[in-house]
Chain A
Amino acid sequence: MLVESQLIEKAKEGDPSAFNQVVLAYRKRILGVISRLIGRPEDVEDVAQEVFVRLYYSLDQLRSADVFEPWLYRLTVNAAYDYLRRVKRRHESRMADMSETQVLMADSAAGGKRSAEDEEKSRVREFVEALFVHVSEEDRILLTLKEVEGLSLKELEQIYRVNENALKVRLFRARQRVIKAYEAAKANGTL
């Protein structure tokens, strides 16, 4: 844990300075997770704030400080889901859904020439996001939490409140679909 259990207990009792410290400790991590879950940098901070507002109002329901992190991840996943649903309703197009030309135009509009390293990073991001299109939004989030964020099955079990075997099956199927898409991309020479 990034903070002591006592600090969480204090925040739970309504101490604003303790809550501030908890937010400051977890802010960067939550921003990173949200950024990878929603894929829209301009909205990351807004979703992160929503997570911490929900945390503030639900902290009194936390059973013990030991389960704080899964609790926070759960709030993060739920806020990301809500955001993605809202975006879907608004029919907004994501960068990943744009054509290559649109992406290039958006990049050039963002200004400046990118270095070779940035180009490579951007290529990797686009490729992985294109692979994730082959799984559902829920599976993409689960796969990201497990494979990219590096959460253990035990942690995922606490976040999703689903038994480990069910999660294993779901992860396996999602991964198989991504591998299939990866192999197809390799065969087509798009890799």
Chain B
Amino acid sequence: MTESDRHLDELLLQYRAACPEVDASADFMPRLWARIDNRRSFPLVFQRLARVLVTASAAACLVLAALNLAPHSAERLHTKYATYADALSAESALERTYFADSNQKARPAPVNYRH
């Protein structure tokens, strides 16, 4: 150990003694518990906010689903046709007509082989 090392050790000892003793204030503990409670309530606010958001998004989903379904069913079953069976039969009749039309158009004109 060099002389400077020894001097530094002594100086650091003096430094430790020279540093003032710090005493806690009288309201140290109440303020500490207030901080602990404050930090505990902080995540609770987020939990509540998250719950509100989940409820709101679920409600929005239901409303959107209802809006999406409502016009179609009303149009098909109540506006045009009286019953679901009528709607089905009308749809199949439409398909048959379309199929017959397209067959006629696609069929080539008959060839007369007698000539």
Contact A28 B24, CB 8 Å, known A128-B12, A183-B4: yes
Which chain A residues lie closer than 8 Å to B8 at the CB level?
175, 178-179, 182
Interface size on A, residues (CB 8 A): 35
- A122: interface (CB < 8 Å): yes
Q: Which of B14, B15, B18, B24 contacts A27 (CB 8 A)?
A: B24
Q: How far is the CA of A92 from the CA of B107 in the complex (A)?
A: 93
Which chain A residues lie closer than 8 Å to B23 at the CB level?
28, 31
Closest chain B residue to A39, Cβ basis: B19
Number of inter-chain CB pairs below 8 Å:
77
Q: How far is the CA of A124 from the CA of B7 in the complex (A)?
A: 13
What 0/1 readout, one digit per residue, does chain A (112-138) give for beta carbons within 8 Å of chain B? 000000001110110110000000000
Closest chain A residue to B14, Cβ basis: A124
Task: Report 24 cross-chain contacts, Cβ distance below 8 Å, ordered by A residue.
Answer: A24-B29, A27-B24, A28-B23, A28-B24, A31-B22, A35-B19, A36-B19, A41-B22, A44-B22, A45-B28, A49-B31, A53-B32, A56-B36, A122-B18, A125-B15, A128-B11, A128-B12, A148-B12, A148-B16, A175-B5, A179-B2, A179-B5, A179-B8, A186-B4
| A contacts, CB < 8 Å to B | 20, 23-24, 27-28, 31-32, 34-36, 41, 44-45, 48-50, 52-53, 56-57, 120-122, 124-125, 127-128, 147-148, 175, 178-179, 182-183, 186
Closest 10 CB pairs of A and B: A121-B18, A31-B22, A128-B15, A124-B18, A35-B22, A147-B12, A124-B14, A179-B4, A125-B18, A148-B16
